[in-house]
Amino acid sequence: MKYKIHKKIDPLSLYGAKSNMTPEELYKELLNEYKIRSEKERIKFFVPQPQQQPVTEDNHKIVAVSGGNRSGKTHIGAYIIAKEAVENDNIVIWVISVSYDVQREVTQKKLLYFLPDYEIDKMTFKTRGIIDKIKLKNKTEIVFKTHEQTVESFSGASVNHIWFDEEPPKDIYAEAYMRTLDNRGRILFTLTPVNGMTWIYDDIFSKAYKDKDISIYNFLTENNTTISRDEIEKMKEKYSEDEIEIRLHGAFVSKAGLVYKQFKEEVHVIPQIPIEEINNKQKYVIWSAMDFGYTNPTAVLWAAVDRGGNVIVFNEYYRSERTIDQLKEDISALHNQYTNKGVLYCDPSLWRVNPVDGHKLSTYFKQSPNSLPIVKANNNVDLGINIVRDYLLYNEHREPKLHITENCENLIYEMRHYENKQVKNLTKNASEEPKKFRDHAVDALRYLLVKRPYFYTPKVEELHELVYSRAGY
């Protein structure tokens, strides 16, 4: 009969090599010893679950865990902080929660579960059993703070490690971050993204793929082995589809519903491409599109299309309060960098007749100097959105028809945040009409892709479009 003995307990060191115990007696004694030691030394005897394990070994400046409710994110956060505190002398750790009540009922209980009693030198309290500070015998201090405090209360100190359990306000994070700079401190986030796609998605989670200081993880509630399948199914019955994504999968979901849910930065965003490669006529032709604005930005996109019809948006122009002459100068300077380019598909509003002077704005864009080869785009919103979605789809090898280079920051931002209008009447179906806000680059993308870009000889395409242009298109 074989007995499984925990690797951290050596039976020979406990009972001696010449023990007269039978295997059954030894096994029982070992189990009892394991129980005693694991109660006193929870840090040493803790075994992370598979989705938790990589986080315990991560040494990035910022480690961010988004997870479903009861996915084990707070538990692993407490383990990491307790281990850090016990193993390092004379450091300062901040633990920051939503409120004092949450500190008392959740974060502090989790930390005290892992911290050995014999390591604690002193605890000071605020009120109602809420701990203000834990001082260990190795002179390390764990200080508890909440979002209820003023931003000013996060200033001044130098901190080695900060744990945010749930998403903080951005101003508190910014101030706390500064406290880690003196000693190369680290920051840990554990959160369920119940607030949707907020600043933490933009500044932390969406930048992880290109920022070497950030590491992100996603915990699923169903991967927590301590929760039964029946309980998981009961939780699913309570939630809508979006709530399941947030509450069980720890996913960032727009409150109103994203237009382009298929967009994934880790799939669709790629490094910038050198202009020499873009201008390789044997490899790419250049398509471009513009959404015009004055108070709102004018957005122009340039895309390289290969022989397979794959599209790479590789450059953007995005500026507001520019006159037509200024726009022409700016855009033509960029447009003329590319040797294998065609026409520029534009917002159809440029072809409206001005009742004051009887002219169309499109006329001015076509005039010298710095004339632009503009052509009226198809502005069928529903059709365009569905075509963009087609280009975003990808196979099991994560190969979509559309890529965007990382320098196109405004387009990437809009793809992440472009959402439908909210429906206040809950008895109605969710709206599929996009909200008119920060939609300038995505509109230009729609004008571009609705043409189903393809590889062509630029001169042939220019003649083709010239016919349509003279016909008033």
pLDDT per residue as tens digits for the range 368-390: 999 999 999 999 999 999 999 99
Strand pairing report for 161-165 and 269-270: unpaired
CATH number, domain of 275, equals: 3.30.420.280
Residues 26 and 84 in one domain: no
Which residues are CB-contacts of 163 (< 8 A; sequence separation ≥ 6)? 77, 80, 81, 93, 94, 95, 96, 187, 188, 190
CATH number, domain of 180, equals: 3.40.50.300
Task: State how far the Cα of 238 lies from the Cα of 344, in Å rounded to an integer.
Answer: 50
Highest mean pLDDT out of 163-177, 198-212, 260-274:
163-177
Residues 326 and 382 in one domain: yes
Q: Is 45 domain-assigned?
A: no
Q: Is 272 domain-assigned?
A: yes
Residues 215 and 87 in one domain: yes
Q: Is 260 domain-assigned?
A: no
Whether 470 has a pLDDT exceeding 70, the answer reads no
Residues 207 and 327 in one domain: no
Residues 311 and 213 in one domain: no
Whether 278 has a pLDDT exceeding 80, the answer reads yes
- Specify the higher pLDDT residue, 174 or 465: 174
**Domains of the chain: total:** 3
Residues 93 and 136 in one domain: yes
Angle at 67 between CA 65 and CA 69, to 5 degrees: 140
Whether 451 has a pLDDT exceeding 70, the answer reads yes
Residues 57 and 26 in one domain: no
Residue 85: give the domain boundaries: 53-247
Question: 159-171 pLDDT, tens per residue?
Answer: 999 999 999 999 9
Q: Is 229 domain-assigned?
A: yes
Residues 317 and 451 in one domain: yes
Q: Is 307 domain-assigned?
A: yes
Residues 19 and 66 in one domain: no
Q: Is 92 domain-assigned?
A: yes
Residues 439 and 358 in one domain: yes
Tell me the average pLDDT across 394-401.
84
Residues 300 and 340 in one domain: yes
Count of residues in the chain: 473
